[in-house]
Amino acid sequence: MTNLAVDLGPRSYPIQIGSGFTAAIGAFARTVAPQSELALIVTDENVDPHAPPLAESLKAAGFRTSTVILQPGEATKSLTWANELYDELAELNADRRTLVVALGGGVIGDLAGFAAATYNRGLPLFMVPTTLLSMVDSSVGGKVGINHDRGKNLIGAFHQPAGVAIDLDYLKSLPDREFRSGLAEVVKYGVILDAEFFDYLERNSAAILARDPAVLETIVTRSCALKAHVVERDEREETGLRAMLNYGHTFAHAFEIIAGYGTWLHGEAVSAGMVCAAQLAQNLGRVPDGFAARQMNLLERFGLPIQPLPEWDAGEMVDAMRRDKKSQAGRLRFVLPTKLGHVELVDGIDEAEVRRVLGH
């Protein structure tokens, strides 16, 4: 078992990472929510078999529990379903101490987190991520939210969890495509912050794909520690540091919009997005020769997409990038590497350069 902490003063919280410790998660939740009587578990149909053991563990720690099982998929991250959770909380007479437990991937964490952030002006939130992507990214850092017709994650809040319990055993039943998608965000941490970690991923790619438990614990722990380090320094994405986590994401969001959400998994879009960003950096002379190829080789080894689909229109992709909520006044803005382990925010890139890496 590995223990990490996200140090945010009064909003600090622990992260526990280990294998097969669901029976102990209740006791962990009790340490971060000593006053809570009720725990509302929010989950989806993909992972609902994990809900009863978690509920037992919470009950053994003195929580009364109730479980809401939602439809899996991005469409669930909506005001309609947030409202369902409000109804459920009201029905249960939830009070300020009621613990919202998000058992699932990014959609469940974001939605349950959003309900927790807003119901009764804020309830404690406990994250139990079940996908690699949510373990290494969305369960840590307090970004919660729902989608709006005009944009993904357009409505949201910063609401740090009270604790995060990462049971790596959940990865055993994760579909292969989902697992690989999560690896894109893992590779991202190496590229943006930690060259040594990138080397480790290259050296251990076979063991990673074989889901070797010790290697998984290492990569999840390192990813969470790197994310915690960034969040501690720029909790609300104000100084530009947290924005570095969006490496590859300007391209990725455009790919997701053009393909239609759900066609590509988020990590798949991020993978192709990182390949484009690296190539852009290389074309602009910002990285040493061979950088883009090295990153691409690792992503390819993980079975991830490395380019946008040829039928996607470059003009539409560029328009989507200009509309990205992270762009400013429609200017094209990218997180670009300078070397392995270091990236910078670069504004005002020429559209022709962007089109060149999109292959059009």
Q: Which residues bind ligand GLY (CB under 6 A)?
A: 137, 141, 143, 242, 245
CA–CA distances in Å: residue 269 to residues 57, 189, 251, 262: 36, 16, 8, 10
Q: Of 40 and 220, which CB lies nearer to ligand GLY in the complex structure? A: 220
Q: Which residue lies nearer to ligand GLY by CB, 38 or 164? A: 164
Q: Please classify residue 249 by burial: count the beta carbons closer than 10 Å to its beta carbon, then call 0-12 exposed, 13-18 middle and 19+ buried.
A: buried
Our CB check for ligand GLY shows the closer of 136 and 321 to be 136
- Residue 121 is among the residues annotated as catalytic for this protein: yes
Q: How far is the CB of 166 from ligand GLY (least distance, A)?
A: 16
- Cβ nearer to ligand GLY, comparing 21 with 247: 247
| Cβ 13 vs Cβ 32: under 8 Å | yes
Smallest distance from ligand GLY to CB 65, Å:
28
Q: Is residue 253 flagged as an active site residue?
A: yes
Shortest Å, Cβ 141 to ligand GLY:
4
Smallest distance, Å, CB 242 to ligand GLY?
A: 5
Q: What does the angle CA 274 – CA 161 – CA 159 come to, to the nearest 5 degrees?
A: 75
> Considering 30, 159, 188, 253, which one is annotated as catalytic?
253
Nearest 5°: the CA angle 22, 36, 70 is 60
Closest CA to 136 of 44, 252, 230: 230
Least separation in angstroms between residue 329's CB and ligand GLY is: 22
CB nearer ligand GLY, residue 26 or residue 142:
142
Q: Which entry of 30, 227, 256, 268 is annotated as an active-site residue? A: 227
- Structure-token match 């992270």, residue found: 326
Catalytic residue among 152, 235, 246, 268: 246
Q: Whole-number minimum distance, CB 338 to ligand GLY, in Å?
A: 20
* Whether residue 185 lies in the annotated active site: yes
If you search the block for the tokens 């009950």, which residue do you land on? 59
- Among the options 91, 93, 121, 150, which is catalytic? 121
- Among this protein's residues, is 249 annotated catalytic? yes
3-class DSSP assignment, residue 43? strand
Query: Where would I find the H helices in the chain?
Result: 22-32, 51-60, 79-91, 106-118, 132-133, 176-193, 195-203, 205-209, 213-233, 249-259, 266-283, 291-301, 314-323, 351-358
Please tell me whether residue 194 adopts helix, strand or coil conformation.
coil
Q: Please identify which of the residues 147, 152, 185, 222 carries the catalytic annotation.
A: 185
Please tell me the total number of residues recorded for the chain in this structure.
Answer: 360
Question: Residue 63 or 114: which CB sits closer to ligand GLY?
Answer: 114
Catalytic residues: 121, 143, 185, 227, 237, 242, 246, 249, 253, 266
